[in-house]
Structure 1
Amino acid sequence: MRIVLVGPPGAGKGTQAAFLAKNLSIPHISTGDLFRANISQGTDLGKQAKAFMDAGNLVPDEVTIGMAKDRMAQADAEGGFLLDGFPRNVSQAVALDASLKAEGQQLDGVLDLEVPEDEVVKRIAGRRTCRNDSSHVFHVTYSPPKEDGVCDVCGGELYQRGDDTEETVRRRLEVYHSETEPIIDHYKAQGLVVTISALGKVDEVTKRAMEALKKSSDEG
């Protein structure tokens, strides 16, 4: 299956992408991983991306699209893939459509993870990260530390990252609504969008997603 995963920040796309890719036996391709791999390997596209990022600028669509096309052409993606964070706007979606068409392929589905805006803010603004190890993450509501402000693992100080504040989250949501959300209408016109609620436990959302994709595939 060739799937695009869409949803606002805080919808759990990264978590769901990993589970879905494993269940479907297809590679999980995320924009962040594409950038890191190309930059660390010193590819031409990686050098271009790094130059823009070092200058504090957004990486142009053509660079991101080039990285995605290279990754989708690799052997492990021959039987399908799950795209997470790409396409991020309509022009990237159009380029993806054209690239797949040129290969005689097409998307099988676009999974839209739906989460109320207030829940997104609650999920992200409630995160607390350990200063000693950023992989130690807690949540004031969903997974609070035993002692307020103290990491259960190493005893380090827990703090709220700058990009986890409510103000920053609401700005990120505005960008999502203006830039990324329009791709849902783009794909709805092709009959590809399946929308599910991303509320509930991780395994419940994964089950919901798998059932929705299977139903969509059967109907298609």
Structure 2
Amino acid sequence: MNLILLGPPGAGKGTQAKKLEDKYGLKQLSTGDMLRAEVAAGTDLGKQAKAVMDAGGLVSDDIIIAMIENRIQQADCAKGVIFDGFPRTVAQAAALETMLAKKGHPLLAAIELQVDEAILVDRLNKRVAEMQSRGEAVRSDDNEETLRKRLQEFRNKTAPIIPFYQGKSLLRSVDGMASIDVVEAAIDKILVGSGAGAAPSAPSAQHP
């Protein structure tokens, strides 16, 4: 069972991925972690990636997909994986789809956590104010300006993959502004309705 969690920063993807790991035995994959592991291990892919990064470039989609292909064959990915933060572009989505299909483990669903950006910004400001009132340290990037930039980047670069998965009849959407437990239940409903590899028959909310 391979899934993608979609949504902007602050949508709760990490929280829900952890719950899916615990409940279904899936493995959350981070391309950043994979890159660091390949580089540290000195693999051929790691050496290629390191050379690109040392030169100030971006690691190619081909290298990333090859790393994912290697990673999903490891024992802890036997029950399936959760992609969080990847793919980020339509080209990456298409390449990932091709690779997974070749392996015989296609995506079960791309689950979008829909959120209200204005509320996300308000929550951040309240959290920071509460931390400051308690005398706690606040991360330098934990501020409204940075969050707005990250939200804009999501809209510009990653949001276009939403219609890509909608066109593949893989997109399922849930209300990411609901409580953690309600979001978890909505995702469970999607997965239970999907069966083993079948397209979900009763999504909680279809993207318009």
TM-score bracket for this pair, using the shorter chain length: 0.7 to 0.9
Alignment match, 1:22: 22
1:18 to partner: Cα distance: 1.0
Which structure 2 residues correspond to residues 1-220 of structure 1 after superposition, within 5 A? 1-124=1-124, 139-140=127-128, 144-145=130-131, 148=133, 150-151=135-136, 158-161=137-140, 163-217=141-195, 219=201
Secondary structure of the equivalent of 1:159?
coil
Aligned residues: 198
Cα distance in 2, alignment partners of residues 123 and 198 from structure 1: 14
TM-score (norm 2): 0.83
> For residues 41 and 182 of structure 1, do their structure 2 counterparts lie closer, same or farther at Cα, with a shift above 3 Å needed?
same
Q: Report the Cα distance in structure 2 between the residues aligned to 1:121 and 1:54, rounded to whole angstroms.
A: 35
Q: Deviations over 1:35-85 (max 9, x none)?
A: 232233233333333444445443322222221111112233233211111
TM-score (structure 1 length as normaliser):
0.79
Change beyond 3 A, Cα 1:200–1:56: farther
Aligned-pair RMSD on alpha carbons?
Answer: 2.3
Kindly tell me: are residues 36 and 119 of structure 1, through their superposed partners in 2, closer, same or farther at Cα, counting changes over 3 Å? farther
Against the structure 1 CA distance between its residues 34 and 200, is the aligned structure 2 distance closer, same or farther, given a 3 Å change threshold? same
Amino acid of the residue matched to residue 150 of structure 1? G
Structure 1: give runs of 5+ residues left out of the alignment.
Answer: 127-138, 152-157
* AA aligned opposite 2:201: E
Q: Distance in 1 between matches of 2:25 and 2:160?
A: 29
Q: Residues 112 and 171 of structure 2 are in contact (CA less than 8 Å); yes or no, is this contact kept in structure 1? A: yes
Amino acid paired to 1:36: R
8 Å CA contact 1:115–1:198 kept in 2: the answer is: yes
Whichever residue aligns with residue 49 of structure 1, its letter is: A
| Distance (whole Å) between structure 1 residues aligned to residue 4 and residue 192 of structure 2 | 15
The farther-off stretch of 198-207 and 14-23 is 198-207
> Identity percentage over the alignment?
41
What residue ranges of structure 2 are gaps of 5+ in the alignment?
Answer: 203-208
After TM superposition, the structure 1 stretch with the greater mean CA deviation from structure 2, 83-92 or 195-204, is 195-204
Call closer, same or farther: CA 1:3–1:124 in 2, change over 3 Å: same
Aligned 8 A contact 2:65 2:99 in 1: no
